[in-house]
Structure 1
Amino acid sequence: MKRKQVLIHNKAENVEDRGDVVWAMDQDYKLTAYNASFEEKFKKEQLGKPIKGMDLRSIYQNGVFFNPCNKGCEKALNRYATTAKHTFEEEGHTYVHEFSFQPFIDVSGEVAGCCIWQKDITDEVSNIHKLWDSERKYREAQRIANVGHWEWDMIKDEIIWSNQLYHIFHQNPKEFKASFASLMEIIHPEDREAFQKDVDTSIQKNAIHDIVHRVIVGDGEIRYVHQKGRTFYDELGNPVRMAGTTQDVTLEVMTKQQVVQQNNELQNFVRIISHNLRGPISNLLMLSKIYDWGKDPMNDDIVRKIENTTEALDQTIKDLNLSLSLKNADRERFREIKLTDVMKDVDGLLSEEIIRAKATVNTDFSEAETIFGLKSYMVNIFYNLILNAIHYAKEGVPPIIQLVTEENSGYIILRVSDNGIGMELTPEKERKIFNMYGRLSGATEGKGLGLYLVKTQVEAMNGKIGVLSEKEVGTTFIVHFEKHH
């Protein structure tokens, strides 16, 4: 028996330097060995000082920390190695400990005793719970955004999909084996070539894989997905895997298509109405020209009103057609435009207005000298913004107009500022300023078409325009143009 206790003692002594609580006992539950952590835990439980040879059964029954040991040791003495988790509170904190019970078998094959190994796994359990919670939130986010992630092992030609991706592609995770070939079967036949080309480009040029295409799911339903990912390479530069996301964008694509269709129908409607009205309008204007004026003052007044109304209607139709033509700008005609050349044209067009208003027009295009677009559009934009500043000058104060460019975050920014009357600007007023026939103020004459045309032409060149204004201080129009690469 003494030889068996020495064997157990030597096994326990091997972990003397560990922070885990380790001890050993023989078949009679007599303590045969323990480490320093065991002694510390023993004292903390107010069980006194451990002594080799002491009976541990009462300790197992009464100790809070040692509570799971009774059953575990019993199984170990019956040749069954086992583990048990034990949760308890100490000083307001919850701890989770894992106990391992390992039987010791002597050379004759008999059970000589067992070793108990306890370790604190509180942090490990907490991390697992955090990971579970993180994964749960990630799955919820994927469901809400209807987006899934994937990873393609190019060597094995295996694709790992997230659960949401199976849902997007209407596939059963237990039945469908994801690979590049099986994915191509899901992609719409007319989109496979474009998809393959985009993947090849991503691999060959280390570029972002980014494409919207159709897939056929379920019983032949066509959906739209947005695939985005990147390629990863080994130390020799060989592509080994690709990872990314797939989002179902069917609703967005269908909505955009519907808007485009409605817009086309609206444009066709305007063209048809314009065409059908031009004939009667021309006839009315012609009749007013051959009318015998001066014989009947009352009739003269009626015909003059008809003439004025007809001319206004004719101009409105021209404005609508001009607006439609501006929105359908041909990007193939876009070029780099020198802003100094634009200003030369505008100076010629506005020379009389500038002299009459005693206006000063200052320009600084040093940070961005060119803009990619149509010169005729830029001339019209400059013309209307400068003319607008002249119209809204303070009475008796010569207008000072500043045109400045700068580069910032992928944009070329044009600022057109003045020292005019300004206004108290609200979001609603800002929106109306750029509406057809909207105006900055009701204090001046004019139809207010200029700013609408400016906004239309800016947007036709993929730009955007905004305005800042302060009453009695002035107004600044800020135009953002995309940089040309």
Structure 2
Amino acid sequence: MKHKHILIDNKVEIVEDRYDAVWAMDVDYKLTAFNTSFGDRLSKAGWGKPERGMDLHPVYQSAYFFNPCSKGCAQALDRYPTTSKHTFEENGELTVHEFSFQPFMNNFGEVIGCCIWQKDISQVVKNTHRLQESERRYREAQEITVFGHWNWDIREDKISWSNQLFRIFEQEPGKFDATFDALMKIIHPEDRDGFVEDVQDSIKKNRMHDVIHRIVLDNGNIRYVHQKGRPFYDENGKPYRMAGTTQDVTKDVLANQQIVEQNHELQNFVRIISHNLRGPISNVLMLSKIYEWGKDPMNDDIVKKIEHTTEALDQTIKDLHLSLSLKSADREKFREVHLKDVMKDVDGLLSEEITKYKATIRTDFTKMDLVFGAKSYVVNIFYNLILNAINYAKEGIPAIISINTEELVDSILIRFTDNGIGMELTPEKERKIFDMYGRLSGATEGKGFGLYLVKTQVEAMDGKIEVQSEKDVGTTFTLIFPKNHIT
């Protein structure tokens, strides 16, 4: 018996330096061994410094913290090791502690006492709850955005799917054997070659796998999914797995298809209407030319108004035709355009305005002198933005227009900055100035079609335009073009 108690003491001493409280007792609930943490915990409970032989019965019955020990020790002394978790309030905070009760037996198999191990697992519980909450939110995000994640073991040809991915493909977990061949059978036959080519290219070139394709569900319905992923390689450079996400984009694809169809219908409608109107408009303009002016002032005034209205209608139809032609640009004819050559053309077109208004144009294309697109578009963009700066110069102060470029990793920036009247630019005003017939202000003449054409032509070349302006300081237009076509 003495040898067994020494053994228990040694086991307790092993955890002497731990924060966990560890102690042992015999079958009569007499304290036989304990570590420092147990002593601190007992003193904190109001029982003073512990001593060997101390009766633990009253401690278990009256001390709030040690109350779980009565039941646990009784089970351990009855040969049943147990573990239980209990929540306590300490210093105004809730803490969770785990109690483990382990019986000790002699060589004859008789229970001679038990060892109790108590540890604070509050942080573990918090981390577990935090992880569970994170997983819950992640599942909700997958359900809301209709996307799931996957992992493909290339060597074993095994694909693991998240639950949301099974929902997207309408397959039942446990019954569907997710392999590459099984996935290929779900992918629409017309999209399989493109999908395989993108996967192989991704692995071969170590680039992102990014493709939208159709899948055919068991009931015959078709869905569009957006697959994104990346390959992983071992120390020998051999691919061993791919991981990524799949999102159901059926609604977006169908909506875009509907928009495209509506745009085609709208374009056809505009062409038909404009074609039918051009004849009557030409006739009215021709009649105004052969009208005998000067005989009747009242009639002259009426005919003049008719002529002006008809000319405005004729120009509107021409603007619509031009807008449609820009939106259906032939991208195969796009080439690298040198900005210095563009400026030569623009200087010739605006030479009269530049001289008349004493405007100064400063260019710096040292960082990038190329954009990819149609030269006629770029010339028109430069022409309209420079003319816009001249028109909106401060009264009595000649316009100074600075044009410079900047090369980023995947894009090219062209900035047009002037010292003009500027404006207080709100999101609503920013949107309106790029609308057809939108204008920066009503203080100058013009239809305001220039900026609409600029935006349309920039977007026709896969670019975008941004504007910043400050009243009485000036305006900056920034053009952003992709660099992927520049060699």
* Corresponding position of 2:74: 74
User: Which range is displaced more, 120-129 or 281-290?
Assistant: 281-290
* Corresponding position of 2:190: 190
Report the alpha carbon displacement of residue 29 of structure 1 after superposing the two structures with TM.
Answer: 3.0
* Corresponding position of 1:330: 330
Cα distance change, pair 371–76 in 1 and its aligned pair in 2 (3 A): same
* Corresponding position of 1:314: 314
Report the alpha carbon displacement of residue 228 of structure 1 after superposing the two structures with TM.
Answer: 1.1
Report the alpha carbon displacement of residue 286 of structure 1 after superposing the two structures with TM.
Answer: 4.2
Pair 1:132 & 2:132 matched: yes
Rounded to whole Å, the distance in 1 between the matches of 2:88 and 2:472 is: 73
CA contact (8 A) 1:461 1:481 kept: yes
Report the alpha carbon displacement of residue 218 of structure 1 after superposing the two structures with TM.
Answer: 5.7
Report the alpha carbon displacement of residue 99 of structure 1 after superposing the two structures with TM.
Answer: 2.0
Report the alpha carbon displacement of residue 389 of structure 1 after superposing the two structures with TM.
Answer: 2.9
Rounded to whole Å, the distance in 2 between the matches of 1:365 and 1:226 is: 39
Report the alpha carbon displacement of residue 323 of structure 1 after superposing the two structures with TM.
Answer: 1.2
Give the match's secondary structure for 1:332.
Answer: helix
* Corresponding position of 1:115: 115
Cα distance change, pair 8–330 in 1 and its aligned pair in 2 (3 A): same
Rounded to whole Å, the distance in 1 between the matches of 2:156 and 2:315 is: 68
User: Which range is displaced more, 234-243 or 396-405?
Assistant: 396-405
Cα distance change, pair 484–26 in 1 and its aligned pair in 2 (3 A): closer
Rounded to whole Å, the distance in 1 between the matches of 2:138 and 2:440 is: 49
Deviations 1:312-344 (A, max 9, x none): 332222221111111112222222211111111
Give the match's secondary structure for 1:116.
Answer: strand
CA contact (8 A) 1:417 1:474 kept: yes
Deviations 1:89-119 (A, max 9, x none): 3333333222222222322233233222222
Cα distance change, pair 343–19 in 1 and its aligned pair in 2 (3 A): closer
Cα distance change, pair 366–107 in 1 and its aligned pair in 2 (3 A): same
| Structure 2 letter corresponding to 1:363 | T
Deviations 1:264-289 (A, max 9, x none): 11111111112222233334444455
Give the match's secondary structure for 2:175.
Answer: coil
Cα distance change, pair 104–336 in 1 and its aligned pair in 2 (3 A): same
Rounded to whole Å, the distance in 2 between the matches of 1:473 and 1:123 is: 57
Where do 1:396-475 residues align within 5 Å?
396-408=396-408, 410-475=410-475
Where do 1:213-224 residues align within 5 Å?
213-217=213-217, 219-224=219-224
| Structure 2 letter corresponding to 1:157 | D
Where do 1:55-94 residues align within 5 Å?
55-94=55-94
Give the match's secondary structure for 1:195.
Answer: helix
TM-score, normalized by length of structure 2? 0.90
CA contact (8 A) 1:8 1:25 kept: no
Rounded to whole Å, the distance in 2 between the matches of 1:45 and 1:424 is: 69
Pair 1:482 & 2:482 matched: yes
| Structure 1 letter corresponding to 2:208 | I
* Corresponding position of 2:152: 152
Cα RMSD (Å) of the superposition?
2.7
Deviations 1:445-476 (A, max 9, x none): 33332222222111111222233444554443
Cα distance change, pair 440–92 in 1 and its aligned pair in 2 (3 A): closer
Rounded to whole Å, the distance in 2 between the matches of 1:11 and 1:361 is: 87
Cα distance change, pair 381–110 in 1 and its aligned pair in 2 (3 A): same
CA contact (8 A) 1:24 1:33 kept: yes
| Structure 1 letter corresponding to 2:139 | R
Cα distance change, pair 437–122 in 1 and its aligned pair in 2 (3 A): closer
Cα distance change, pair 31–475 in 1 and its aligned pair in 2 (3 A): closer
* Corresponding position of 1:279: 279
| Structure 2 letter corresponding to 1:435 | D
Cα distance change, pair 45–224 in 1 and its aligned pair in 2 (3 A): same
Structure 2 gap segments, 5+ residues each:
none
Deviations 1:329-383 (A, max 9, x none): 2222222211111111112222223223333322222222222211111111122
Give the match's secondary structure for 2:332.
Answer: helix
| Structure 2 letter corresponding to 1:402 | S
Report the alpha carbon displacement of residue 121 of structure 1 after superposing the two structures with TM.
Answer: 1.9
| Structure 2 letter corresponding to 1:272 | I
* Corresponding position of 1:231: 231
Cα distance change, pair 19–374 in 1 and its aligned pair in 2 (3 A): same
Cα distance change, pair 185–474 in 1 and its aligned pair in 2 (3 A): same
Rounded to whole Å, the distance in 1 between the matches of 2:121 and 2:456 is: 66
Report the alpha carbon displacement of residue 258 of structure 1 after superposing the two structures with TM.
Answer: 1.4
Structure 1 gap segments, 5+ residues each:
none
Aligned-residue sequence identity (percent) comes to: 69
Report the alpha carbon displacement of residue 230 of structure 1 after superposing the two structures with TM.
Answer: 1.0
Give the match's secondary structure for 2:371.
Answer: strand
Rounded to whole Å, the distance in 1 between the matches of 2:108 and 2:483 is: 85
* Corresponding position of 1:351: 351
Rounded to whole Å, the distance in 2 between the matches of 1:171 and 1:367 is: 54
Cα distance change, pair 79–411 in 1 and its aligned pair in 2 (3 A): same
* Corresponding position of 1:365: 365
Report the alpha carbon displacement of residue 49 of structure 1 after superposing the two structures with TM.
Answer: 4.0
| Structure 2 letter corresponding to 1:416 | F
TM-score, normalized by length of structure 1? 0.90
Cα distance change, pair 40–451 in 1 and its aligned pair in 2 (3 A): closer
Rounded to whole Å, the distance in 1 between the matches of 2:223 and 2:292 is: 68
Rounded to whole Å, the distance in 2 between the matches of 1:392 and 1:127 is: 61
